[in-house]
Amino acid sequence: MKIKIKGIKTANEENVCYICRNEKDNGIIIGKSLICKECEKKIVNTDVESIEYDFYKNKIKEAFLNLVI
């Protein structure tokens, strides 16, 4: 069963993950941005000392700021 989540739309109306930019059918919405389950798992399991942590932190900030701007 496919679940449609309102998120970022492309020209062909598919959902696109805000972080990996891949078309996905499921995930969480932060602001108006979809974050797919795979990226969500990576975010949750990333150590705060790693370089990836800052990348994910900044992408989540951008997603929230897009809601305000």
Write out pLDDT tens, residues 8-57.
444 433 589 999 999 988 899 887 889 999 999 999 999 999 999 999 99
Q: What is the pTM of this model?
A: 0.71
Where are any strands of DSSP class E within the chain? 8-9, 15-16, 27-30, 33-36
How much is the pLDDT for 14?
53
Domain locations along the chain: 8-68
Distances (CA, A) of 48 to 13, 27, 57, 69: 35, 22, 10, 28
- Count how many residues are written for the chain: 69
The pLDDT of residue 64 is 86
Is the pLDDT assigned to residue 7 strictly greater than 60?
Answer: no
